[in-house]
Chains A and B, each alone.
Chain A
Amino acid sequence: MSEPTPAQTGQPGETAVVDPSGARLHPLTPFVRGWGYFVVAAVALVNNEGLRQNLTFAGIGLAAVLVGGILLGALSWWFTKWQLTGDAIRVDSGFLFRRTRIIRFDRIQAIDVAQPFVARLFGMAELRMDVAGGGKSDGKLSYFTYDEAQRLRTTLLIRAKGEKAAEQQEQVQQAEAEAPPLLTVPTNRLLGATLLSSTVVGSVGALIWLIAGTMVLDFHVGLFAALPLLFGVVRPIWKQVVGNHGFTLSESSHGLRTKRGLFDVQRQTIPPGRVQGLLITEPLIWRLLGWSRVELDIAGVAGQKEDGEDDHEGAQLLPVGERSEVAYVLGRVLPGFDLARIQLHRAPERAKWLRPISWRFLTYGVDDQVMITTRGWVSRRTSIVLHHKTQSVRLEQGPIQRRLGLANVHVDTPLGPTDAIALHRDQYEAAALVQAQADRAREARRTVSASVAVQTQPNAPRPDGASSSAASPADDSSDR
């Protein structure tokens, strides 16, 4: 139980850990929290072949699981208490291993009221406190009724930032909520795009082939392969259509904001100075329709997946958009940038020994701001990296490439979807490109960062948009 600084861990044997004062959370908490457990238990019981024949046994098992779950949940609820002290919020929890966590008000970066799907059904909400250096789950307090959570949030904000700041923030939030969106993605396009994406089309094709094969050839082993394929069909649809439902891009004082999700609304802020790179993906069928997806690398966002809630690497800028929309958002993120203006250089023809079909699509292009690489035949990926965000440049050559006189150039950016690799270039061109990229990175950095203060505090924007409450003064201001 090693916790970051603001948290303190009580020892099991310590006396006076149980503070009689303090309030409990909402009594429905264990149910809202543990609904998944019950569902899983029920599904497991129903699916279990051995139990299916013996319904009474299954019933007893389910009842035992239910009672046990409720009991554990109730115990956990009973022993969890929170209270506000003079300068901190204190949460006591745990029933076998007692734990006391004290989060000082002045350490709280941002406070959010979030409503996961099930909680929303019951009109409940959880309080998420963003603590610098802490994981996402460190500052969670769930569940309250929605009103209570809002009240508590205001109280905490006032204590943490002073009354004025709290008020100001409310206003900013209100103003932002009212600002008209720059762009929304209609649900039917989202659905269509997902159905036509390479993964889904491929999986459906394979599934049909499999079913046909099973029927005709009586080859039943094939059915086992159907499961992952089915997963390949359902998962992207779920992720895209539900996760990106009502995708909205809007402008705020902290940069562009995205909002998406049907059940669990996710908000994310894209601070202008934090964009490290972009990735435009165009699956085969999308290209015919002129659709593409735009994703971003944002410093500090990718790689922060403590909760498994958000399995996106980086941020989505546009789940699916037409060419004009893509050009628009690109111009929004990189002022003065026009993808069409950059001249792309193709890889030499001898690259076809390594990439028989897709060598035609291996290109790179450079201007004074960014470098672009494209590749992929089925799914075309266009990576855009900013010169002044380049982490390192690498030149690589394998044995076959050496025989062909080819080499790869990697331009590395921090973790995220972008991977700018100029594949299979002529080796002399590649070597020159590496030098040129290093020079450009140096030049870009001199011209750009002269006006930009160095980020000293690594206050990353959170993937779940916890910074949307923006109680973080150090967060975005220094990037201007």
Chain B
Amino acid sequence: MDDLFAPSDVSWTPVSAKLAAVRRLNAAITAGVVAIAALLVLGLTLGWLYGVLAVVVIAAGLGWAWILIGRNQRSWKYAEREDELLVTHGIMFRELVVVPYGRMQFVDVTAGPLERAYGIATVELHTATPATDAKIPGLHPDEAGRLRDRLSALGQAQAWGL
């Protein structure tokens, strides 16, 4: 099954496991804030039992998200073919994107505060259409820089007219 979304004629590079850590932390923070809010709101209006119940539900959701995030992180892979960049990701909703380097309009490297703290960055390749979803999260900053330089060099060398 896997070979459908990750053809084996290229070598796939997985993304850093830190991506999962960042996303889990993010989820934990969000869940924590929501849990406190739910506890207070429900506790003060309906009764503390409901508040605690809500917190339990949120905690269960977080646990589920914890597992999903891990699986999702392992599903992110990218490959550099001679003329195209391939990115695949997703467990429930799977996607494989094939972008020719020559179609590149610009490359973005972004890193939020949490990502910076963990030392990862996101590289995104933009083409003339926003439908192209060539985003690779969870890259080591050096790798992100290398990929950015390589993509822009290849994009320039192979540029296709619109």
A positions within 8 Å CB-CB of B: 273-274, 276, 299-300, 388-399, 402, 407, 410, 412-415, 427-428, 430-431, 434-435, 437-438, 441-442, 445, 449, 452-455, 458, 479
Contact = CB atoms under 8 A, between A and B. Distances in A.
B128 interface: yes
Overall SS of chain A's interface: mixed
Task: Tell which of B3, B98, B103, B159 has the most Cβ of chain A within 10 Å.
Answer: B98
Given A397-B5, A397-B93, A413 B129 contact: yes
A395 B95 CA distance: 5
Nearest to A407: B4
Chain B interface size range: 20 to 34
B5 A395 contact: yes
Given A300-B162, A454-B160, A396 B94 contact: yes
Interface string B9-35: 000000000000000000000000000
Contacts of B132: 391-392, 394, 412
Nearest to A415: B129
28 contacts: A273-B161, A389-B162, A391-B128, A391-B131, A392-B97, A392-B98, A392-B100, A394-B95, A394-B97, A395-B4, A395-B94, A396-B96, A397-B5, A397-B93, A397-B95, A398-B92, A398-B93, A402-B94, A413-B129, A414-B129, A415-B130, A434-B98, A438-B84, A438-B98, A442-B83, A453-B161, A454-B161, A479-B161
B134 interface: yes
B162 A399 contact: no
Nearest to B103: A391
Contacts of B131: 391-392, 394, 410, 412
Contact of A445 (B95, B99, B128, B160): B160
Contact of A397 (B84, B94, B103, B162): B94
Interface in B58-106: 83-84, 92-100, 102-103
B127 interface: yes
Nearest to B131: A412
Interface of B: 3-5, 7, 83-84, 92-100, 102-103, 127-134, 159-162
A396 B126 CA distance: 19
Nearest to B128: A414
Task: Tell which of B4, B92, B103, B159 has the most Cβ of chain A within 10 Å.
Answer: B4
A396 B87 CA distance: 12
A399 B99 CA distance: 24
Nearest to A442: B83
B127 A391 contact: yes
B128 to A, nearest CB: 4
B130 A391 contact: no
